[in-house]
A and B are shown apart, each in its own frame.
Chain A
Amino acid sequence: NAGVTQTPKFQVLKTGQSMTLQCAQDMNHNSMYWYRQDPGMGLRLIYYSASEGTTDKGEVPNGYNVSRLNKREFSLRLESAAPSQTSVYFCASSEEGHTDTQYFGPGTRLTVL
């Protein structure tokens, strides 16, 4: 039981490049989330998926897209990376919605030059 896994762990991009961050959970959770963490800002919700087949915007969705590929996987895509997207990205899952305990992956540290 690996919990929530994220790939890659580190990534460096040039401005304008695209990439996809992958997230998978093996806890049979319905809800999944993408957050970004910046120094002094705490965690901010980018997108979430309440259940398979649904996605909704969070607090800071601009510049990102998501895909809930199946119940296990939830990917985050940066179509044209910008330096402002330099951050640590965390994926999380919960059994059912925001009021349930969220389980976090180890994070992806992204630098955009």
Chain B
Amino acid sequence: AQSVTQPDIHITVSEGASLELRCNYSYGATPYLFWYVQSPGQGLQLLLKYFSGDTLVQGIKGFEAEFKRSQSSFNLRKPSVHWSDAAEYFCAVGAWGGGADGLTFGKGTHLIIQP
């Protein structure tokens, strides 16, 4: 079964500063990796995804993520955060085959933006 670890429960960043959110996964084959964002009281929205090919993936809202197989990581980055980026961020790993091993989410990182 796959698993996802987001080591940081909370991160505080000043507006305009750079951001990196960490994600480590465990999966036996090549994973399908996702980053979702959840604004307060809302559902989840896809930021970006990695299936294969170029290991640096561009997403919406100026986010990017890099897949590093050797480190089993898929960290999310943004060069300059805006106050509107304050939200909960979830990393997820998907697998073929369905069942309870379908799409597994990390526990999330709560991003706080300081003015």
Contacts and interface: CB of A to CB of B under 8 A. Distances in A.
B95 A98 contact: yes
B16 interface: no
Given A40-B107, A90-B43, A104-B45, A99 B98 contact: no
A59 B100 contact: yes
Size category, A interface:
20 to 34
Contacts, number: 62
Given A42-B108, A43-B90, A56-B98, A98 B103 contact: yes
Interface residues of B, number: 25
A10 B105 CA distance: 24
Nearest to B107: A42
Nearest to B51: A99
A106 B43 contact: yes
Contact of A98 (B43, B51, B102): B102
Nearest to B101: A98
Contacts of A4: 43
B107 A98 contact: no
Given A42-B90, A42-B108, A98-B95, A105 B103 contact: no
Given A40-B107, A48-B98, 13 more contacts: A4-B43, A43-B90, A43-B105, A45-B100, A50-B98, A57-B99, A97-B96, A97-B98, A98-B32, A99-B32, A102-B44, A103-B46, A107-B42
